[in-house]
Structure formats: structure tokens, C-alpha cells
Amino acid sequence: MEKNYEKELCLYIAKNDSWGLRRIKKELQTPELVKAAMEANISNFEFIRSDLQTPEICNDVLSKNIDACRIIRSDLQTPEMALYIMKNKPEYFPHIRSDLQTQEICDLAFKKDNNFFKFIKQEFQTFEMFKETVIHYIHAPNARPEFLKALSNVLK
């Protein structure tokens, strides 16, 4: 009988305390409890037991708070999440798993900041990206001398 009260109490806390999930022992978390906690406060995501985190929950979290992409486990990322992140907050490109990169995602990242070139998989690096990156480094006030020397070896 005691377990029933625990379950009811946990559910009550999850629904009525915006930070309830962090107060509940991890071993008492259930999918129902997680859903209630997420409805109470999307920030409860970081307190969800890892085996209860799902891509569906992650999508819900991202749609309400794009900054959550920094704490979503990489194995739960999906191609749809990656594209959503890039369209809404491209500065989070480094948080996207490299195997989820597509030409569209890489183009969006590079358009936002050409410093992301170093994170782009070689197969998605274009000549235009390379050219812009080189031009950026040539004109950078803190351009590294070794880079400029290497560059002078390949340019006429």
C-alpha cells in the first residue's frame, strides 16, 4: 500500500511543483511522471532519468526551448532536430552530431558564422566556404603567422 502513496505523491509533486522532478528520486520516475513534470516545466528535462528520455520528449523540449539542444544526449538527436536547430539557432551547430550533417545544415551553419568551417565534415565543405574562410583569416587582425605562411606557400 505504501508504494501506491509514493506513486500518487510523486505525481502530485511533478504536476504542482515546477521543479518537482529534481526533488523526486530517479528510481521512482515513470513515463507518466516524466510527462507530468514536462508539462509543469520544460526545464525538468535535465532531471529525467536517461532511460526515460526519448526523441519525442526531446522534440517537445526543443520546440519550447531551443537552448535545450545543449543538454540533449547526442544519441537522441534526429535529422529533424538537427535541421530545426539550424533553422532556429544556427550558433548551436557544434552541438549537432557530425553524422547528422547534411549540405543544407552545413550551409546554414557556415552562413551564420564561417568559423564553423572547422566543424563541417569535409564532404560538405565547398570551394566557396574554403575561399571565404581563407579570406577571413587573411584579414583577421590576429591571424596566426603559421597559417599565413602556409597560405603564402599555396597562393601566387
This prediction has a pTM of: 0.72
pLDDT digits (tens, 9 = 90+) for 27-77: 999 999 988 888 888 888 889 998 999 998 898 889 888 998 888 989 999
Distance, in Å, from the CA atom of 23 to the CA atom of 47, rounded to the nearest integer, reads 9
pLDDT, greater one: 139 or 38: 38
The alpha carbon of residue 43 and the mean position of all alpha carbons in its chain are separated, in whole angstroms, by: 15
pLDDT at 1 over 50: no
| pLDDT at res. 154 | 64
Amino acid at 46: E
| pLDDT at res. 152 | 66
How does residue 2 score in pLDDT terms, banded at 50, 70 and 90?
low
Distance, in Å, from the CA atom of 12 to the CA atom of 4, rounded to the nearest integer, reads 12
